Structure 1
Amino acid sequence: MCGRYVVPNTTDELLSLFDATGANAADWKPSYSVAPTDPAPIVREWIHDETVQRDLDLASWGLKPGWAKPGGPAPINARLESVASNGMFRSAFASQRCLVPMAGYYEWKQMEDGKQPYFLHGDGDVLAAAGLYAARQDDDVWKISFTIITRAARDASGEIHDRMPVFLTPDAWEQWLSPEKISDKEEALSMLDRSSVAVAKTVTAYPVARVVNNVRTLYSEDPRLIEPIRS
């Protein structure tokens, strides 16, 4: 699973990395602790005036489709094994796909003296997790929400937790972002599997300070949250 993650990049850095436009993400500030319901940047493509546009948007973490009832579930993760068929996700999987940029994410190990957080990260500037998004109108304002697709953990990720985000290699970004409706679900799922296995080989983990454990008291803009400590 992925329940907290890190986006240290500025809006301008993300716009450059993903070749996107981003007026809707101008207020973004780097965060070392993105938690459920928080606004966070996503990259999506949509058709505007018959032209495909790639945007960097701020969206709420926890998918809330337009048809969902107020107060209903807003899942932060969608399982790769069922994302194409689950009623909550299948429509977004078909035509509302996004990338969720991050430097890495946190997972925890239960120790004798409490939970020890670990920071899991790749070897580049950014990881791009496969996500789904939805837009709904609330008081005449369109609001975007998203979820992150997860899979059984591979390589170093599996040493900390049994699930991990589905990360995509850069050559798969364009295919995943395309706003065209998916015609071959099995091929799309196979692409997600292949790409995420490749990225998983680059993921490593190290322990960080337990201040990360309490999302209510930490300062999310503090880069020291991801500094390694001696285990």
Structure 2
Amino acid sequence: MCGRYAASANPDELVEEFDIEFVGDVEQVAAPRYNIAPTDPVATVFVDERDGRLRRELGTSAWGLIPPWRSEKPMRLINARVETVNEKPSFRGAVRARRCILPALGYYEWRSEPHGRRTVKQPYFMRARKGSLAMAGIFEFHRTDQGWIRTTSILTTEATDEYGWVHDRMPMTVPPDAVADWLDPGMTDGYRAVSLLAQPDLTRPHKVSRAVSTVGNDGPELIEPLAE
């Protein structure tokens, strides 16, 4: 499960990194954030029709996909397993036509560890080795009292041995040479789409302060290695 992450790139950097042609309303996600949690607004790269043609766009989504058929007491699905995303009713429509990228600096996972006479949930940070972590996402639209919003979920896979000791799942990423196909809404084969994805290229996990466990905390110090 990927339930918390950090994103430090500003819109101008994302425009260059992902060849963005149109920037939408990104005021809420323009500043670096180091403790992004479910339901938060998140920077999202996707393709939309503008001026009669498809353009790569940078916009904002709410983290936690709400299935289109769920209007009363909507559930928010923050992760979608890549192994079953094409079968689950909540995800199969989105993976065929509404795919996106969620740029991240890295993500957090928690591991139960002994601390004196008790056990604590120790957070670890897994950082992109280079540039942004292009996390693979899918999205749906949901109508609220304020209008339509985009809601998104991160695709996950079984963690590799190098990271599985922290947590058994990890986000899937979109390799640079697969970005165009992944974002293309005209490519409607969901199975082919997920075959484009790869496990993330990460640095070794390092312990960080348990302050990140409190959603209201934010700042670059949250991703710094914890002094042993």
State the shift of 1:215 in Å: 1.5
- Structure 2 residues without counterparts, runs of 5 or longer: none
Whichever residue aligns with residue 225 of structure 2, its letter is: P
Give the TM-score of the pair, scaled to structure 2: 0.91
Corresponding position of 1:74: 76
Whether the 8 Å CA contact 1:157–1:203 is kept in 2: the answer is: no
In terms of fraction of residues, the more helix-rich structure is 1
Corresponding position of 1:167: 173
Within 5 Å, give how 1:25-104 maps onto structure 2.
Answer: 25-28=26-29, 29-104=31-106
Distance in 2, matches of 1:165 and 1:95, equals: 20
- Structure 1 residues without counterparts, runs of 5 or longer: none
| CA displacement, residues 69-120 of structure 1 (integer Å, 9 cap, x when unaligned) | 2312110000011001100000000100000100100011111121111000
Whether the 8 Å CA contact 1:155–1:203 is kept in 2: the answer is: no
Corresponding position of 2:24: 23
Distance in 2, matches of 1:154 and 1:53, equals: 35
- After superposing the two structures, state which structure 1 stretch, 49-58 or 163-172, moved more: 49-58
Q: CA 1:50/1:152 → structure 2, altered by over 3 Å: closer, same or farther?
A: same
Whichever residue aligns with residue 57 of structure 1, its letter is: G
State the shift of 1:12 in Å: 1.7
Runs of 4+ displaced beyond 4 Å: none
Distance in 1, matches of 2:213 and 2:15, equals: 30
- Output the aligned Cα RMSD: 1.6
Whether the 8 Å CA contact 1:84–1:90 is kept in 2: the answer is: yes
Within 5 Å, give how 1:193-204 maps onto structure 2.
Answer: 195-196=198-199, 199-200=200-201, 202-204=202-204
Give the TM-score of the pair, scaled to structure 1: 0.90
Q: 1:186 aligns with which of 184, 191, 195?
A: 191
- After superposing the two structures, state which structure 1 stretch, 43-52 or 92-101, moved more: 43-52
Corresponding position of 2:4: 4
Identical counterparts, % of pairs: 37
